[in-house]
Structure 1
Amino acid sequence: MICALGSAVCYGTATVLQAVAARSAAAPGPDTGGSGASGVDPALLLRAVRQWRYIVGLGLDGLGFVLQIVALRSVPIYAVGAALASSLAVTAVVAARVLAVRLSGTEWAAVGVVCAGLGMLGLASGSEGHRDGPAALPWALLAVAAAILVAGAVGGRLPDRARALVLGLGAGCGFGVVEVAVRLIDSLDLTNPALYALLLGGGAAFLLLTSALQRGSVTTATAGMVLGETIGPALAGVVWLGDHTRDGLGWLAVTGFAVAVAGALALARFGEAPDAPPTRSLPEVPR
């Protein structure tokens, strides 16, 4: 669980850096993003990686991913998913400190709610399941990862609000594919479709998330991402992979999961950190 929380800290901090980089990397164009009619712009990702903030963010993402893998091999997916959703609370706190963003009392309360939910999950979570799931599950994950790319290409042409929701939900589902795929990989077996599902799902998630950060409603996109990366993978872990809770504490795990995700949704606007406040210039001295 400590690894899951460490992963959330890495991801939450990286979001602040990557969001600012994604905005400044947006090419000027008639449709606010330089990607024409589509909201998914692969060139945007290439422009973003030329900036140091995005590179540092990717480094934190890499460290967070390693911690996430360790966590997924030790605790149930539902606990890891809720912890990753709490990265929004980290982003909110980092934005408040680094970018001087003012959090309302409600948002500070939401940070506390996320922490309370994670505390409940930590108390109620058992060990991870040891079932391999259905034989078709790795292939199903690969199909879902491919469908996410198609959905992103189609959703990128929708009106702003629907586009943000589709891109965010697609990114969340991509991260969810990664969470489940990690549990199905025991070694570097190039014949295991779960390995390719992990790579395709992760790549699709980063592409859609980067595009969602640059276009549309950040709050809507992030809310979709939180739902996509928590609910589906949690159900897959419980139904197919044997994840369970401590004896008699199933109700506490369900409550903690719901509370943590609800708190994260309340902080959805921090899926993209606001731009740094402008520097005040000195008043002109009359001659």
Structure 2
Amino acid sequence: MPTSSLVVAVPAAVTGAALMGLASAAQARATKQVDRARTLDPALLSRLVRRPLWLAGIAATVAGLVLQLVALAFAPLLVVQPLLVTSLIFAGFFSARLEHRPPDAVLAAGSVLCVAGLAVFMVLARPGETGTTTFVSGPAPVALALTLAALTVAGLAVSVLASGAAAVLGLAVATGVLYGVTAGLMKVVAGQAREDLLAPFTHPVLYVVCVVGPMGFLLSQNTFQRGEFLTPALAVITALDPLVGVAIGLWWLGETATTDPAAITGAAVAGLVVLAGVVVLAARATRLTHETPEVR
């Protein structure tokens, strides 16, 4: 890869990640400025759209996505994607600034663990880009669909039956799964569009994305609104999104992943690092909430 490509791709990816972190922090802050809504209640969006901070978050999201596309135009996903997960670190910093509190060292350390683990996992275990638009047959797609549906339902159930940090993490799990499904299916839509611009409109995948995508976004706003601290929930969402995407590539689209034992072992260790980071974030957020109930 030419050095000139990296000169463009790396700053674009990091700046895009910073903007996505700012977007998450702004949206999380704005959700706490309106009345709490029930899960998946669209009225929440009608309240948020009147908040300038939330609209600024949406603008930052669009700008971040544009920069991510620029980065991907100059470098492969294998280079760009690990840089994009740094949005979690940026989100923690911007969230602290918007809430007029100093950044917490433990929350920052937990975010770094999650980002490092995710980056290594994606480098070692990400399946190959096949560009396929055809779903494989057999029991694997059905099993994955049932598993993802069960995870989503379980997350929503926990958000209803539990309280505090557990409820927020339940919402985050459901959000991360829906985000991952949306990203995985968008690969199919993009592949269909490359073959024929009208092809996506003749297949059900696009319409599934049009339902699942907005549901995931609305759930993310519910998650932000109910969490006292942004980074624990965002870490779960950030981790599940690519992991679900990898699973969809493998079991729905027939992509192949590495079979090298060393790479598989490294990916497993990286996954444990991510889990450790989430545990650190959740535990620290719970402690801070108990110490300072009025954090906002």
Same fold by TM-score greater than 0.5: yes
Structure 2 CA distance for partners of 1:121 and 1:152, relative to 1, 3 Å: closer
Q: Which residue of 2 aligns with 1:129?
A: 130
Q: Which runs of 5+ in 1 are unaligned?
A: 27-32, 279-287
The one-character-per-residue Cα deviations of 1:116-160 (angstroms, maximum 9, x if unpaired) are: 446645764675234444269999999999999988886664342
Question: 1:44, CA displacement in angstroms?
Answer: 1.5
Structure 2 CA distance for partners of 1:251 and 1:83, relative to 1, 3 Å: farther
Question: 1:57, CA displacement in angstroms?
Answer: 0.8
SS of the residue corresponding to residue 128 of structure 1 reads coil
Matched, 1:244 2:257: yes
Structure 2 CA distance, aligned partners of 1:204 and 1:223? 19
- Worse-matched range after superposition: 136-145 or 252-261: 136-145
Among candidates 202, 216, 221, match of residue 191 of structure 1? 202
Q: Which residue of 2 aligns with 1:182?
A: 186
Q: Which residue of 1 aligns with 2:106?
A: 106
Structure 2 CA distance for partners of 1:226 and 1:194, relative to 1, 3 Å: same
Contact map agreement 1:141 1:197 (CA 8 A) in 2: no
Structure 2 CA distance for partners of 1:251 and 1:88, relative to 1, 3 Å: same
SS of the residue corresponding to residue 237 of structure 2 reads helix
Q: Which residue of 1 aligns with 2:77?
A: 75
The one-letter amino acid of 1:92's match is G
The one-letter amino acid of 1:242's match is E
The equivalences for 1:30-109 within 5 A come to 33=36, 35=37, 38-66=38-66, 74-75=76-77, 80=81, 85-97=85-97, 99-109=99-109
Structure 1 CA distance, aligned partners of 2:204 and 2:168? 30
Structure 2 CA distance, aligned partners of 1:89 and 1:249? 26
Two-structure CA RMSD over aligned residues (Å)? 4.6
Among candidates 263, 272, 275, match of residue 277 of structure 2? 263
Matched, 1:166 2:170: yes
Structure 1 CA distance, aligned partners of 2:274 and 2:185? 23
SS of the residue corresponding to residue 161 of structure 2 reads coil
Contact map agreement 2:17 2:87 (CA 8 A) in 1: yes
Return the structure number with greater helix share. Answer: 2
Q: Which residue of 1 aligns with 2:215?
A: 204
Contact map agreement 1:7 1:63 (CA 8 A) in 2: yes
Structure 2 CA distance, aligned partners of 1:181 and 1:128? 14
Structure 1 CA distance, aligned partners of 2:121 and 2:169? 28
Question: 1:167, CA displacement in angstroms?
Answer: 2.1
Question: 1:265, CA displacement in angstroms?
Answer: 5.7
Structure 2 CA distance, aligned partners of 1:59 and 1:128? 30
Structure 2 CA distance, aligned partners of 1:115 and 1:145? 23
TM (norm. structure 2) is 0.66
Q: Which residue of 2 aligns with 1:285?
A: none
SS of the residue corresponding to residue 77 of structure 2 reads coil
Question: 1:43, CA displacement in angstroms?
Answer: 1.1
Provide the aligned length of Structure 1 versus Structure 2: 263
Structure 2 CA distance, aligned partners of 1:118 and 1:157? 29
Contact map agreement 1:142 1:193 (CA 8 A) in 2: no
Structure 2 CA distance, aligned partners of 1:17 and 1:252? 35
Q: Which residue of 2 aligns with 1:225?
A: 237
Among candidates 21, 33, 37, match of residue 30 of structure 2? 21
Contact map agreement 1:141 1:177 (CA 8 A) in 2: no
SS of the residue corresponding to residue 102 of structure 1 reads coil
Matched, 1:9 2:18: yes
Q: Which runs of 5+ in 2 are unaligned?
A: 1-8, 286-291
Question: 1:250, CA displacement in angstroms?
Answer: 4.5
Structure 1 CA distance, aligned partners of 2:68 and 2:242? 14
Q: Which residue of 2 aligns with 1:282?
A: none
- Higher RCO (CA-CA < 8 Å; seq separation 6+): 1
Question: 1:215, CA displacement in angstroms?
Answer: 2.6
Structure 2 CA distance, aligned partners of 1:121 and 1:152? 24
